[in-house]
Amino acid sequence: MTPRTLARQLLPPVALDMFRRLGNRKYIWSGIFPSFESITPVGQAFSAETYARLSLDEARRVIRTSNRFTATPTEAVNEYAAMCMLSALACQQNGGKLTVLDFGGGLGVGYVHVLSSLGKHSAFSYHIVELEWACRAGSSLFPDDARIHFHASLPEAINGLDIVLLKSALNCIQDYAGLLKKLCGYRARYVLVSELFAGGFPTFASAQRGFDGTVFPCWFFNVDEIVGLMRQHGYALSCRGATEQVYNQDNFPADHRLERGRACQLLFSRLEPR
Amino acid sequence: MSSRTLLKQLIPPLFLDLYRAVTRKAYIWDGVYRSFEEVPAAGPGFNGDALAVPSLDQARDAIRAAAGYRSVATEVINEYWVLALLAAVAREQSPRLRVLDFGGGAGVHYVHLRSALVDASALDYHIVELDWACQAGPGLFPGDGRIHFHRNLPESLPDLDIVYMNGVLPYVDDYAGLLKALCAYRAKYFMIYSLPAGAFPTFASAQRNVPGTLMPCWFFNRDEIVDILSNEGYSLIHKNAVEHGYNQENFPETHRLDRGRNSVLLFSR
């Protein structure tokens, strides 16, 4: 048990909450800017040492745990539950074959969960587009597993793609419209956008604080803009929901905050046949 | 804020855990029995106010919250989001979206599904429930022809897309009979959410977390449930777990849920 965990156990929740409110780490984002260029980045964002180390630890833990499941894969919960179920549905529709592109899929935690929650399947291929360090580290976690592929940039083409996953990644992409266009170009049956910071406000940028003192730009989207972009590229919104986590945005003007502090989830379906 | 919630805010988690550990209240279930008849059941079970009142309140809260959405369906989270995804996919293959929600309470899942779907006009939602829900439920949805409450399984529901069961199968004595009856509707998808299941043989236990009630509850051998549905023409396409973990330290180790978590099983015909 770390001193931090011990303190959490010994302090009454009301005192802990007060401490958090008074502390400097209260807000994840600060400022409202028209563009990414208006924000001066500090550090290496998602290549920061602590972020990389924690991601690696988590991936190793998930792989270890998934090898011990008896009747139920117990770890594919929370934000992973929906993508696992959608994968199963797409696999069933495609006669037992499943191909997934996970943009910003880290070290393959999503892959482990999808694989362990999937029923009978005849073919499974999972492509992750990530930063260089993640591609190197990720590949070493799955030696001899031909089903998972790491790409440092978007692959030219992926045959028979069923699903594009975009989990908390779009917010960090400066040219988000360009990325959506490219991803829609694969003509996957479904595009699942999870943990998207979006609402009724006009799209704006903010400065996000990360590990090791990093600061990087992050988009808050007008949700209709994203839906409109997807429609331009042949995808219709099928359903919408939210994530459970509530963010504190008291430092934002009321009309620029996420509704109830929650990120949204959007499922898009391809309008026309491939 | 209730006095219970206030107390939880004032007591350090370590002491709260200690208190829970030394009182038997930490355990929801007690005993391992072969059948429902062996469980010393008492109280009104699901017919009592202890379950009916919160269920109605939950549906009312969901309706109120949904009416206040601006751009984001903020309450469509976790299990509601999972059902919405399933429904959205099923809807693509069907001119209408017909759902049978066995044990669907006062319609909380319907409310969230209605908000989540971009086009909810084709929704046709059937809830099979106890008297209290069938009496109070329709009053929560005046003028809404998309939701229907039934005291018994309807004679027929043609072109059913989804059979949905959330946390209800453990309380049905003849679970195999019910599953077979539900399979007979020939729905495209059959989802069992929050099923206490594992590698252990099926057994009954006494559930004691509802005030004034002690009710029998099944813990299933997962393969037995899968076999029942397989024999009726369904294949397991997805297996998962729900996040909440239960404390079952009073059970023999061999009879505990994996990590204390209930299962999620999705079948397709």
Would the CB atoms of B72 and A269 count as touching at under 8 Å?
Answer: no
Return the higher-pLDDT residue of A209 and A91. A91
Minimum Cα–Cα distance from B223: chain A residue: A71
- Minimum distance, in Å, between the CA of residue B209 and any CA atom of chain A: 24
Q: What is the spatial distance between Cα A224 and Cα A236, in angstroms, rounded to a whole number? A: 12
Beta strands in chain A (DSSP E): 29-33, 97-103, 123-129, 148-151, 163-167, 190-196, 198-199, 204-209, 215-222, 235-242, 264-270
Q: Enumerate residues 147 to 176 of chain B having a beta carbon within 8 A of any beta carbon in chain A.
A: none
Domain B31-268 maps to which CATH number in 3.30.70.260, 3.40.47.10, 3.40.50.970, 3.40.50.150? 3.40.50.150
* B253-259 LR contacts (CB < 8 Å, sep 24+): B254/B200, B255/B32, B255/B198, B255/B200, B255/B203, B255/B219, B256/B198, B256/B200, B257/A72, B257/B196, B257/B197, B257/B198, B257/B219, B258/A69, B258/A70, B258/A71, B258/A72, B258/A74, B258/B198, B258/B199, B259/A74
- Kindly state the average pLDDT of the residues A95-115: 96
Q: Report the mean per-residue pLDDT for chain B.
A: 91
Lowest-pLDDT range of A236-245, A257-266, B10-19, B260-269: B10-19
CB contacts, 8 Å: B268 with chain A = 92
Residue A251 pLDDT more than 90?
A: yes
User: Do β-strands A123-129 and A148-151 pair in parallel, antiparallel, or remain unpaired?
Assistant: parallel
Minimum mean pLDDT range among A68-77, A129-138, A205-214, B21-30: B21-30
pLDDT tens digit sequence for B57-85? 999 999 999 999 998 999 999 999 999 99
The arithmetic mean of pLDDT across residues B254-264, rounded, is 93
Confidence of residue B4 (pLDDT cuts 50, 70, 90): low
Amino acid sitting at position A115: L
Give per-residue pLDDT as tens, B156-208.
Answer: 898 999 999 999 999 999 999 999 999 999 999 999 999 999 999 999 999 98
A274: pLDDT confidence band, cut at 50, 70 and 90? low
Full-model pTM = 0.89
| pLDDT band, residue A15 (cuts 50/70/90) | confident
Count, residues in chain A = 274
Question: Which one, of A261, A196, A260, A185, lies nearest residue A225 by Cα?
Answer: A196
- Residue A164 scores a pLDDT above 60: yes
Q: Looking at the partner chain, which of A71, A72, A77 has a beta carbon nearest the beta carbon of B243?
A: A77
* Min Cα–Cα distance to chain B from A74, Å: 5
Domains of chain A by range and CATH? 41-270 (3.40.50.150)
Q: How far away is chain B from the Cα of A150, in angstroms, using its nearest Cα?
A: 25
pLDDT at A152: 96
**Distance of alpha carbon B41 from alpha carbon B46, whole angstroms:** 12
CB contact under 8 A, A117 and B199: no
Which candidate in B118, B244, B268 is best for mutational testing of the A interface (most A CBs within 10 A)? B118
pLDDT at residue A69 greater than cutoff 80:
no
Give the ipTM: 0.89
Q: Which B residues 225-244 touch A at CB under 8 Å?
A: 235-243
Q: Is the Cβ–Cβ distance between A118 and A87 less than 8 Å?
A: yes
% of chain A residues with pLDDT over 70 = 94
Q: Choose the closest CB to A244 out of B14, B78, B91.
A: B78
